[in-house]
Every structure is written in C-alpha cells, then in structure tokens.
Amino acid sequence: MKSIIFKSSNKEAFFPNESVFVSNSPANAVFAALGASLAGADSLALLSLDELCELCDALFALALSGAHGGLLIAASVKDEAEEKKFAALADKAKLALLCPPLGEETEYINRGFELSKKTQTAFLIRLGNGPLSSALNEFEPFRYRKRAERFVLEPENAKKSAKSLVENRNALAEILKDSGMAHRMYEAGEDLYSPGGRNLLCTGCPYRGVYFLLSKNWLRAFSDSGCLKLGSKPPLFALDAALFPGSSPSVLRGFLLASDAKMAGETVALIDPLGLKKGGMLGIEELAADGLNATVIILDNMTSDFDFEKSFADIPCALKSSFDSFDLEDIENKLKSGLEAEGLKLIHCKGPCVLTKPYEGKAPYKTDKNRCKGCKACGRLGCPAISPDRRPEIDSNICVSCGLCKRVCQVDAIYQEFEE
C-alpha cells in the first residue's frame, strides 16, 4: 500500500507517485491523516509552518492520543527564524521534531513512519522547499485495533495520556537517539493542559440512545468533542475515537480512504452543531467531494443557533434523514439501510438537552419485577438512574422520565405509575 498524503489547499505537494488529497482546512488535513493512521496506513499531513502554528491545540490532541499506523505532520522552513518557530511549536504541542538534512527528507519520512508505528507516536517533521528525490516506501498496513482509552480524549483518558507524555519522554528520546536521526525533543514540562468537562452523560441525555444503537450493532464510531466523547464510557463502549471540535468527519475521511468497503460499511462519524460550525461542515463537504460511502450522524441537543441544515442543501447526499433522538426503531432502520447505500449519508438526531429543557410534569419510570426477565437491555443504556442488578431497579429520585428505558425493554416491564 502507498502512503497517503493530506495537504492544505494552498500548499504544494512534491511527493512522486503518492496518493495526495486536498483538505479544505489545515486542521482537516491533520485529522484526516490521523484517520488514515487509525486504519493502519502510513499517512502524512503537509501544511505551511504558519498553518501549523495555528493548530497547537489540535497537535497537542495528537500528542495525547498517539498513532496506530505511521503518522507524520510536516511543514517546510526556509531560514533560521522559521527553524526556531518550528521548535517552539514542538515544545507547545509536546511532539518530537525530526530534522532531516537537505536531500535526506525521503529517508527520514520512511524511517519516521517506522518509528511512529514502533512507538505509537505522531511526529513533526521539518522539510525543505523542493520536491522529494524519490518515492516513499510501500508498506503493509497494520490491522485495525480499537483503543478507545487512547483515542477518545474524554477527561479521564486525557489526564492519563498527559501524564504518560511526561513519563515516556525519556524512553522516546532514547529511541530517537539510537535511530541516529537528527531530531529535537520537546521540553518535558510537568503541568500539561488536559481537556476538562463532564465525566458522565446526564440522565435523560438525548445522545444516549444513538450510542446504545452503535454498541448494539457493533459499529465503529469516530466522534467529536464535548459531551459527545462520553459515549465511550461503560457499559456503552460506543466510540473508537473522539479528539477535537469539528474533527470527526475528517477522521472518518482518512479512515475510509485507507480502508476497504467492508470497513466503510461498519463505520460512522458523530458530530454536533458546534462541531459542524468549527470545521466539521468542511469535512462533510470533503466526504461528498471524494465520493466516499460515508455515514455521518448529527447529534443535536438543541443548544446551538447554528443553522447547519441550510448548508446541507447544497451537499450531494445519497440520504438525508431527521429523527427524534429517542425514536430508536426508526433511527436503527435508517442507519442500517444507510450503511449499505453508496455515497454520503446524513442522519440528524434531534432532542433537547435535559439541562436546558427538563422533562417536567412526568412521573418517573418503574420496573415491574414480575415481568422483568433479567435481560439487562435497560442496564446497557448506562443511565445513572438504572441499577446494575440482575433485575434492574429505577431510582425515582434521579429518573427524569425520558422514556428511553421503556423503548429498549422487550417484555414491557417498565412503566409509569401515573400516566398523564
């Protein structure tokens, strides 16, 4: 397999005989390269130095997550001032910087891919301004492996990854030293920023049902930031990667370009309106332009004023569907048919955030223990109001009456004592 190159639209790509794809934004190029790496490919994002310097937080997300296949982020420099600028960026992003001598760029890229795979780490690499002297090596792609503990940067995982960056720095420095390659290690630093936010989905969260369906159908899912990251928590275990605002369509793009049709039919991207506004819409346009069989689920908790549906009007799609987030049967049917269809599929799941629009005036749900068969379908929702017992009980003090547990119960064992 050949290496996959993603470049920003204003950057020339001097890579003979490689697969080169243009991204609508610098961040999209970086996250598409990560997506290809997740699929086991050797991938490189090529940007200008100024573009890279605007992506420090995104690059730090890559430092936290690491890589699977080879992953390099490249830019060209032309003088000593830019060398210093690149070095300062490496320190902030906590990524090692490979520094090939003039004329040795191709060798460093090839060896950089091998080091990246060996260490499961992304590297920055400084290139010259001319074309490469030869083509990159072909490679055997790594087999995909789900590692949500690394690639889903929810608060707990991000904190562990930030700690590992400090602890593993010296070991990485020794590996680079032994390689004989010119490089620069990032400054260690003890107080690394790690993303904050909630640790659990709220009771009544409109996202929970979609995560339940993804887990039930054993689908691969690349998600966005914020509350969307929390679908990786047990018992849902629904997410494979979740890194940065607006990143998931681009991660999906890179993954699909490095995968076969079967993988495409088992993989989706999740994004919310805020992520669409912060680059995700450009990523969806790239999926359509590439003609990829991509399925994107928009999880809309109705807290954003971004009118993304107007933007969808001009995007060629094989399927556009809109559902209530709790309408699980219809969502599942459309999801299954959408994964089988060719082209871009957009599935909009809409439901109010329980923090901004509580379920007022409804009685909490209860479990009829005489009907319950102990299948634990309701328990697999991960709702804090449902106990993990063999025959689960619902805590009426926590239940907000969203009704999701009743929808997944197959024996009609969940009810409201006082129906309105």
Secondary structure string (H, E, C) spanning 297-342: EEEECCCCCCCHHHHHCCCCCCEEEEEECCCHHHHHHHHHHHHHCC
pLDDT of 313 reads 84
Q: What is the tens place of the pLDDT at every residue in 115-136?
A: 999 999 999 999 988 777 778 8
pLDDT of 190 reads 62
**At a CB cut-off of 8 Å and minimum separation 6, what does 76 contact?**
48, 49, 126, 127, 128, 129
- The pLDDT of 142-168, averaged and rounded, is 91
- The pLDDT of 93-110, averaged and rounded, is 94
pLDDT of 361 reads 67
The percent of residues above 70 in pLDDT, for the chain, comes to: 96
Asked whether 62 and 99 are in contact (CB, 8 A), the reply is: no
Mean pLDDT (the chain, rounded): 90
pLDDT of 420 reads 45
pLDDT of 344 reads 94
pLDDT of 391 reads 82
The percent of residues above 90 in pLDDT, for the chain, comes to: 68
**pLDDT band, very low/low/confident/very high, at 380 (cuts 50, 70, 90):** very high
Q: Please give the Cα distance from 419 to 43 (Å, whole number).
A: 56
pLDDT of 363 reads 85
pLDDT of 195 reads 59
**Which residue reads 């805590």 in tokens?**
395
- The pLDDT of 387-399, averaged and rounded, is 87
Q: What is the tens place of the pLDDT at every residue in 208-219?
A: 999 999 999 999
Q: Is the domain defined by 4-145+155-184 classed in CATH 3.30.420? A: no
Delimiting residues of CATH 3.40.50.970 domain(s) in the chain: 208-350
Q: What is the tens place of the pLDDT at every residue in 329-351?
A: 999 999 998 888 889 999 999 99
Report the predicted TM-score, pTM, of the whole model to 2 decimal places.
0.94
Cis bond leading into 234, ω under 30°? no
Q: What is the tens place of the pLDDT at every residue in 234-282?
A: 999 999 999 999 999 999 999 999 998 888 889 999 999 999 999 999 9
pLDDT at 69 over 80: yes
Q: Please give the Cα distance from 170 to 299 (Å, whole number).
A: 41
CATH class assigned to 358-420: alpha beta
pLDDT at 382 over 80: yes
pLDDT at 419 over 60: no
Instruction: Identify the residue with better confidence: 136 or 66.
Output: 66
H-helix or E-strand containing 404?
helix 404-408
Delimiting residues of CATH 3.30.70.20 domain(s) in the chain: 358-420
pLDDT at 232 over 70: yes
Fold classification of 208-350 is Rossmann fold (3.40.50)
- The pLDDT of 292-307, averaged and rounded, is 93
**pLDDT band, very low/low/confident/very high, at 417 (cuts 50, 70, 90):** confident
